[in-house]
Amino acid sequence: QKEPQPHQTATESDTPEQGHGDTLLTVNQVERSFQVGGNTLQVLKGIQMEVKQRQLVMLKGRSGSGKTTLLNCLGGLDTPSKGEIWFNGQLFSKLSDDERTLVRRKKMGFIFQAFALMPLLSAYENVELSLRMAGTPRSEWKDRVPECLELVGLEKRMHHRPFELSGGEQQRVAIAKAIAHKPVLLLADEPTAELDTGMSAQIMAVFQNIIRTENVSICMTTHDPTILEVADHVYEMVDGKFI
């Protein structure tokens, strides 16, 4: 007699693998203050958040609300005054500067509003440079560079230099650079701010594609309401707190 098959509900079988599995990043009561002219300016006021594997998380809020300060803490470019940041199973916010830099180089990728490409290098050379900086063995570059440029849809623009590319294409090169060394978390500060609506939508489609294919999570800041709907989770920041 045949073994009984495990029961599967319609919902389970109809839902493809969402991948929202384990927690990658946890932020626990994080505060950040700065000393300005003898006064204490509290910018982050008890932030609580989490990013799971393969999630696209957005931080929205007005200019000056504290989004960049939080993103800098998540990326280890700044450290909280109080509270904890756990990343990839480690108490990231309590690592030494050297340890944090190492984790950042190996496990994180960064994308900025203004693309930050090397102007005299082609798209291909820009991605190659990123692999060199990350310490990826040279023998892997030949396969990985075109793979990354294909992932962002730039296989036909590999030998163009930044000034020969549109804004959206330049941002896609920047994404290829950021994922080249296979990070688990991408941090992006206003990645669509310089782009028109059509190009912003393309960037979000690229993000969704790399989440699927590269097993990466993305945490980005934005104040563009037209892209919020593709997020798995949106945190809204007002004056250093989430509402």
- Binding residues for ligand ADP, rule: CB under 6 A, are 34, 36, 41, 43, 61, 63-69
Question: Nearer to ligand ADP by C-beta: 207 or 235?
Answer: 235
The nearest distance, CB 87 to ligand ADP, in angstroms, is 19
What is the SS3 assignment for 7? coil
DSSP H or E stretch at residue 141: helix 138-151
The nearest distance, CB 223 to ligand ADP, in angstroms, is 8
User: What residues contact 61, with CB distance under 8 A and at least 6 apart?
Assistant: 67, 221, 223, 236, 237, 238
Question: Nearer to ligand ADP by C-beta: 66 or 162?
Answer: 66
Sign, CA torsion 193/197/198/201: positive
Question: Nearer to ligand ADP by C-beta: 10 or 36?
Answer: 36
The nearest distance, CB 188 to ligand ADP, in angstroms, is 12
Nearest-CA neighbor of 82 among 48, 59, 52, 105?
48
Sign, CA torsion 88/89/90/93: positive
**69 contacts 44 by C-beta, under 8 angstroms:** yes
The nearest distance, CB 69 to ligand ADP, in angstroms, is 3
The nearest distance, CB 241 to ligand ADP, in angstroms, is 12
Nearest-CA neighbor of 173 among 105, 133, 122, 214?
122
> Which of 137-165 are b and which e, b meaning 16 or more Cβ less than 10 Å from the residue's Cβ?
eeeebeebbbbbbebbbbeebbebbbeeb
Question: Nearer to ligand ADP by C-beta: 65 or 122?
Answer: 65
Question: Nearer to ligand ADP by C-beta: 53 or 65?
Answer: 65
The nearest distance, CB 193 to ligand ADP, in angstroms, is 11
Question: Nearer to ligand ADP by C-beta: 168 or 240?
Answer: 240
User: What residues contact 129, with CB distance under 8 A and at least 6 apart?
Assistant: 118, 121, 177
